[in-house]
Amino acid sequence: MTTLLYDGSFDGLFTAVFEVFEYRYKDVEIVSKERFLQENIFAEIHEVITQNDKAERVLNKLEQNIGKPGIHELLKVYLSEDPELERLILSAVKQSIKHPEENILQNYADSDILKISKICKSVSRERHRMTAFVRFEKMRDGVFFAKIDPDFDVLPLIRKHFKDRYQDQKWMIYDLRRNYGILYDLENCDFFYPEEKLDMHQYQQKFHDDENNYQTLWQRYFTKTNITERKNLKLHVQHVPKRYWKYLTEKW
């Protein structure tokens, strides 16, 4: 067994995929350095150095076979953080190389492709919910700040949505679980990676003076528009799962 260790990045993963073919590895696994555990003392370790040109060659070949939508599906698998993501993506690439005339991502008779499909649906559902459940809070510097804690790493998938929707104001969206976020400053929309995790106490002290009033008004509006006689908690939870409630202003 040969173990290819990569840096955990998307380009690093596809560099590793390229080297599987380059060195003609047969019995092989790809593992990120962060998740690697030396369980098999007989495994041969191959450290992968991320090379964008190698990753691009794999992605260009995939684009010919499964198109950009297919690559986007593999990106969702990568962002799912599933323990088997590397194996599934390598399996898809191998099948695509073997059957270049087919869109192998539609071959649901294959167990790996079926799992890829299920993962993509879950990630897409989480992406959709994040676009609906994000709540911004105005800070003293005028920036609108939102905190999220999604099951999957969907920030790269929602960046365009918020950039297109809120072009006239500065905003930030921060992933509490993964400790990084998106910052839009009216010109650029980039990822940022703070050295320390968000301190909730200090964070609340940086609220704009009007923010508490905004939150109170929104909570009152939510309460007044709620018709008690038509309350259906079961249906409500189906559309707004409880795990999101802690970040919704109207649920405080």
* Dihedral, 248, 190, 16, 51 alpha carbons, nearest 10: -170
Mean pLDDT of 185-207: 83
pLDDT digits 0-9 by tens, 141-178 = 889 999 999 999 999 999 999 999 999 999 999 999 99
Structure tokens given for 248:
């919704």
Helix (H) or strand (E) holding 237: helix 233-239
Tens digit of pLDDT for each residue in 11-49?
999 999 999 999 999 899 999 998 887 655 567 899 999
Instruction: Please list, in sequence order, all residues whose beta carbon lies within 8 angstroms of the beta carbon of residue 164, skipping any fewer than 6 positions away.
Output: none
Report the distance separating Cα 70 and Cα 16, nearest Å.
Answer: 19
Mean of pLDDT over the chain: 90
CA atoms of 218 and 246, how far apart (whole Å): 15
The whole-number pLDDT of residue 39 equals 57
Give the predicted TM-score (pTM) of the model: 0.87
Tell me the pLDDT tens digit for each residue of 45-91: 999 999 999 999 999 999 999 999 999 999 999 999 999 999 999 99
Q: What is the pLDDT of residue 38?
A: 62
Whose structure tokens read 């079926």? 114
Give residue 238's pLDDT band: very low, low, confident or very high (50, 70, 90).
Answer: confident
Q: Which pLDDT score, from 0 to 100, does residue 107 have?
A: 95
